[in-house]
Chain A
């Protein structure tokens, strides 16, 4: 087990104005960053296989949104799903074990990075299919309503996903059925290599909400507080039967789309510019300047999270490899 402090919403006010909440959010940001830097390193050394989509640079979205959620709330995630999984509260060891193709991984080594999910913390799955999780989120929200529960479902997806039919159909369903779902678009300006300036004619993805009669809002996705505030409002509305919201978080991925990306479609200057808007650095500075955390406390948290990631690698490496013997019996759940 290598876990970090679970995220939570302060009673009132925003995250950076509350010492405990700020500290938990910083842990989340750092855990996502260090976890992904670690897997990037393992991949480069040939110790990890397949491909990998890193969310380095986008940590504030998952952190700000999940801080507004309860443990019993659900999420659907994407191919770029490590951040969602960590922010919802997953164990870093079991995540690392999954990526290292171990039997103790969250998916027993069958899913890998693209399908990673901790079901216990309400994660209904990362998804290799762009937009695949969006209608699923609407369906999970429908079930909450039908079962009389007050859980909320958040669907994470990228800018590119909003050009799929599944996105549009799901938003309409959620709107006409008043479902307790929050659609969170991580707009990192590109769907793989294709810029949003070429893939859509609308200026803001949040404008698309109007077509289905639900509120749409655009927010600075590199600012944990800003993301948290809009997420909190949308989640609260959804929880009391006020229906869905589309939130567009403007952010940027520092790394290539996947492991085979040569970054031919964007400039070095653009990447460097966005590195100056690093969500982790911004939040660190803010909590130190506001006096909620001292520089020493930030340093201690940093060390704590580094140790957790190191422990995750250590524990995962020692775990047994996933077992081919059980595959055939794993396709269906046993009929009882």
Chain B
């Protein structure tokens, strides 16, 4: 079979289009997703294919549109909300955290909120502090939300289709730098399961756990490391909630070394959870070195390109960190 190569953005659009064709209750709402085609071009031609009722351009009212999605989801629709930048989920936080996440539980299981909220996340575009954040741990900290960070075109499609099948609110954080990257994506409507970590590369010298854009960066680092004689196992957590630790624990048993890579600031970040889980179980006895966390600095993302790069792990930082971990320095 020949590989069908499409971009991350195209893969998401394909998933939405297929879901809308298959299920009348699926619809999209968000700012500038209509004729404009989405701030990052994700919705593209969907407006022309499905019309303005189902690809619904909204006023700039994040709280209102997420609330409207929650309400529609309660009574039989499957809304996909696009928040233009993940930073603006802050405007909608009441509906996400106090409403969507809790309604099923609070109401004794009588209702549920099958809503998907997609938002571009991360830095690297020179958009400065209010348009570049990695806020995944905000959501992962709230019981009742599932949190997904696709790191490849294939996962972007498969995880989104799983999110749409899920009867619960799912937050999908897409990385801006990945939208134009491409990879093999099957045409059929396949699902990538939520709650299953993915071993992207095998290796026996150290275990690298990464999320989002740090996954491809870690794989690239692993290739450089291989030419220096170091074999890294790279694991993409893929879904932060629920979190699948099994492949991580299994890999540590082989490597004895754990490096955790995330773009978000280090303090109280998601990787602290991974480290804590390792330390709570037998896997900790496999470790021969302290855990190494490579994270964003605890600063807002600055505008200047050289500043922006300096606050987020880059390829060289990952290579360097891995070498130091393996050599025990």
Residue interface mask B33-74, A partner, CB < 8 A = 1: 011110100000000000000000111111110000000000
Residues from chain A with a CB closer than 8 A to the CB of B305 are 49, 101
Contact at B127–A101, with CB atoms within 8 Å? no
- Rounded to whole angstroms, the CA-CA distance of A265 and B52 in the bound complex is 14
How far, in angstroms, from A164 to B31 measured CA to CA in the complex?
A: 12
Task: Say whether A210 faces chain B, with CB atoms less than 8 Å apart.
Answer: no
Q: Are A324 and B307 in contact (CB under 8 A)?
A: yes
Q: Are A49 and B126 in contact (CB under 8 A)?
A: yes
B126: which A residues are within 8 A, CB to CB? 49-51, 112
In the assembled complex, the Cα of A200 lies from the Cα of B57 at a distance in Å of 12
Report B185 CB to chain A, min CB distance, Å.
Answer: 24
| Partner among B35, B58, B131, B304 whose Cβ is within 8 Å of the Cβ of A128 | B131
Chain B residues contacting A322 (CB-CB under 8 Å) are 302, 304, 306-307
A residues less than 8 Å from B245 (CB atoms):
none
CB-based nearest B residue for A261 = B36
| Residue contact B304 to A101, C-beta cutoff 8 Å | yes
- Cβ contacts under 8 Å, B58 to chain A: 194
Contact across chains for A327 and B302 when beta carbons are under 8 A apart: yes
- Inter-subunit contact B310/A194 (CB<8 Å): no
Interface of B is mostly: loop
Q: Mark A95-139, 1 if CB is under 8 A from B, else 0.
A: 000000100000101111011000000000001111110000000
- State in angstroms the CA–CA spacing of A82 and B164 once bound together: 42
Q: How many residues from A make CB contacts under 8 Å with B?
A: 42
Q: Is B196 an interface residue (CB 8 A)?
A: no
Given A129-B88, A192-B36, residue A114 in contact with residue B59 (CB < 8 A): no
User: Using Cβ atoms and an 8 Å threshold, which residues of chain A touch B131?
Assistant: 114, 128
Q: Which chain B residues lie closer than 8 Å to A200 at the CB level? A: 59
Roughly how many angstroms separate A194 CA and B52 CA in the complex, as a whole number? Answer: 13
Which of A127, A130, A328, A330 sits near B60, CB closer than 8 Å? A130
Q: Considering the chains assembled together, what is the distance between the CA atoms of A130 and B305 in angstroms?
A: 24
Cβ contact of A111, chosen from B61, B297, B303, B310, cutoff 8 A = B303
Q: Which residues of B sit under 8 angstroms from A324, Cβ to Cβ?
A: 306-307, 310-311
Asked whether B98 is an interface residue with its Cβ less than 8 Å from the other chain, the reply is no
Closest beta carbon of chain B to A132's beta carbon, Å: 8
Do A112 and B35 touch across chains, with their CB atoms under 8 A apart? no
Chain A proximity of B119: nearest CB distance (Å): 14
A110 x B128 contact (CB < 8 A): yes
Most buried by A among B35, B128, B300: B128
B219 to chain A, nearest CB (A): 26
Q: State whether the Cβ of A160 lies closer than 8 Å to any Cβ in chain B.
A: yes
Roughly how many angstroms separate A194 CA and B34 CA in the complex, as a whole number? 9
Instruction: Give A260 to B34 CA distance when docked, in angstroms.
Output: 15
Bound-complex Cα distance A110 to B303 (A): 5
Is B250 close to A, CB under 8 A? no
Smallest Cβ-Cβ distance to A326: which chain B residue? B307
Residues of chain A within 8 A of B25, CB atoms compared: none
Would you call A50 and B60 a contact (CB within 8 A)? no
Whether A160 pairs with B59 at a CB distance below 8 angstroms is yes
Q: Given the interface contacts A322-B307, A328-B299, does A111 sit within 8 Å of B59 by beta carbon?
A: no
Closest chain B CB from A73 CB (angstroms)? 25
- Tell whether B288 is near chain A: CB-to-CB under 8 Å: no
Contact B298 A328 (CB under 8 A): yes
B60 adjacent to A191 (CB under 8 Å)? yes
Per the bound structure, the CA–CA distance linking A191 and B32 in Å amounts to 9
- How many angstroms from the CA of A115 to the CA of B307 in the assembled complex? 16
Identify A129's interface contact among B32, B130, B302, CB under 8 A.
Answer: B130
Chain A nearest CB, measured from B315 CB (Å): 17
Q: Is B181 interfacial (CB-CB < 8 Å)?
A: no
B226 within 8 A of A: no
Please list the residues of chain A having a beta carbon within 8 angstroms of any beta carbon in chain B.
49-51, 101, 107, 109-112, 114-115, 127-132, 160-161, 163-166, 191-194, 198-200, 260-262, 264-265, 321-322, 324, 327-328, 330-331
Instruction: Identify 20 residue pairs between A and B in the complex whose beta-carbon atoms are under 8 Å apart, listed by A's number.
Output: A50-B125, A50-B127, A101-B303, A101-B306, A107-B303, A111-B129, A112-B303, A114-B128, A115-B303, A127-B130, A128-B129, A128-B131, A129-B87, A129-B91, A165-B63, A193-B35, A261-B36, A324-B311, A328-B297, A331-B299
